[in-house]
Amino acid sequence: MHLTIYPNELALIEEEANVRIGGALRESTLSLIPDLIDPFSFRCQPLLPGLRMIEFVLEPGSRSEDEDGLPETSSMRMTFESMAEGEWPCRFSYLTGGVSWSASYTIIIRGDVVDISLYASITNRSGTILPRADLHLVSKYDVGGMFVSYDVAKTVDLPDGVMKHIELFSLADVPLRNRYLAPYDSEEILVTRYFRNDEEGGLGYEIPPGDVRVYESVDRNAHLSYIDAFRFPPIPMGSIIDLSSKKCDDIEMEGEWDRYGTATMRIVNRLEEDVILEIEERCPEDDLILSNSHDFVRRSDEMIGFIVEASVLDPTIVNYTIDPSLIDSDWDRRSGWSVEAEMMRRLEEEEMQKER
């Protein structure tokens, strides 16, 4: 059996079986059909020429027990046209509800490295056992409808009404790095601990969204301390994953805007080494940056980050100009300059000229 599980409790089941054809009535029955099957999706593909299914009937299972004390499951009774009696190999496929999966992560911080484990939590409430299934998991990756799939490297039995946790991967000693950040919505400089979704760290593929639990190894016996829980969004290849952050008092940044949309930032680094500082700014389109002294990368649909090497020797100056049409009262967090403030300044100048 090949089982593909999609979001929103939907699964595609594909299995191969022999259809026994004998006598004048050419019928066969497929058992262990889920109660939540979509009957309109049922298909039979003969693997040899000379056989054609002309009718199928879904026979719902009863809640009474059979000889083995188990509830009777649904079955599919099929009628065929065939050239001869005997056993005919066929491939059956159908959609069913009641089968779902979700991703969950365990992260253990050990000094400058982390151990990462990803588990798939699979729930079967379809109304029947799904035996010896080759799993294929599909995750909706973004709001645009893109889907990403994951194969499981073993077969599993999924009894009805059971949740199973299956390890998809486990990585040890993934490098943990520091990243310095000037957030868009804060005056503080933060230092975050992160790892990167790349091949160097043992990853390098689209990571599905899921719940995360973070622990830290606290002594020589590897005892753990629970740190935090949050949820991963979908994580593209090459992106960075922040685990924790705190205020960094050893880097200071002062800035101001002029009325033409140009920002000037002065960065003082009092650490013992040069570091890379990322300055966040709101900008929905790259071409709205009219000029810039430092390169930037896009972090989201609305946010970019200027990548600045902050030297310990001398203050670092960063300049960039944003299309003035973007400037509104929300852009004054680093400078006190805004459209409203500029209008007030002009009114004050006019009043002073009148008094003169």
Task: Convert the pLDDT of each residue in 251-268 to its tens digit.
Answer: 999 888 777 788 899 999
Q: What is the mean pLDDT of the chain?
A: 84
Looking at residue 63, what is its pLDDT? 53
Looking at residue 57, what is its pLDDT? 92
Nearest to 120 by CA among 136, 107, 108, 142: 136
Average the pLDDT over 110-127 and give the result: 91
Looking at residue 334, what is its pLDDT? 45
Q: Which of 17-26, 28-37, 311-320, 330-339 has the highest mean pLDDT?
A: 311-320
> In the chain, what are the domain boundaries?
2-97, 101-125+159-249, 251-351
Looking at residue 115, what is its pLDDT? 92
The DSSP symbol for 142 reads S
Nearest to 255 by CA among 173, 198, 336, 165: 336
Q: At which residue do the structure tokens 């151990």 appear?
A: 115
- pLDDT of residue 328 exceeding 60: no
Looking at residue 269, what is its pLDDT? 94
Confidence of residue 345 (pLDDT cuts 50, 70, 90): low
Looking at residue 82, what is its pLDDT? 83
Looking at residue 143, what is its pLDDT? 47
- pLDDT of residue 145 exceeding 90: no
Comparing 129 with 353, the larger pLDDT belongs to 129
What percent of the chain has pLDDT above 90?
Answer: 38
Average the pLDDT over 278-307 and give the result: 91
| Kind and range of the H or E run holding 269 | strand 262-269
Q: Are strands 240-247 and 130-140 parallel, antiparallel or unpaired?
A: unpaired
Average the pLDDT over 245-249 and give the result: 89
Distance of CA 298 to the CA centre of its chain: 18
CATH number of 2-97: 2.40.30
Say how far apart CA 205 and CA 238 lie, in whole Å.
8
Looking at residue 329, what is its pLDDT? 45
Say how far apart CA 288 and CA 84 lie, in whole Å.
72
- pLDDT of residue 74 exceeding 60: yes
Q: Are strands 10-21 and 162-175 parallel, antiparallel or unpaired?
A: unpaired
Structure tokens, 13: 């089941």
Nearest to 152 by CA among 163, 130, 167: 167
- pLDDT of residue 339 exceeding 60: no
Strand partners, 166: 120
Comparing 352 with 247, the larger pLDDT belongs to 247
Q: What is the CA radius of gyration of the chain?
A: 31
3-state secondary structure of 282: strand
- Angle (CA) 117-123-127 rounded to 5° is 160
Which amino acid is present at 105? Y
Q: What is the pLDDT of residues 179-208, one digit of tens each?
A: 899 998 888 899 988 888 888 877 887 788
- pLDDT of residue 67 exceeding 60: no
Strand partners, 105: 118, 212
Average the pLDDT over 275-285 and give the result: 92
Average the pLDDT over 83-100 and give the result: 91
Structure tokens, 169: 């991967």
Looking at residue 333, what is its pLDDT? 46
Confidence of residue 144 (pLDDT cuts 50, 70, 90): low
Say how far apart CA 8 and CA 103 lie, in whole Å.
14
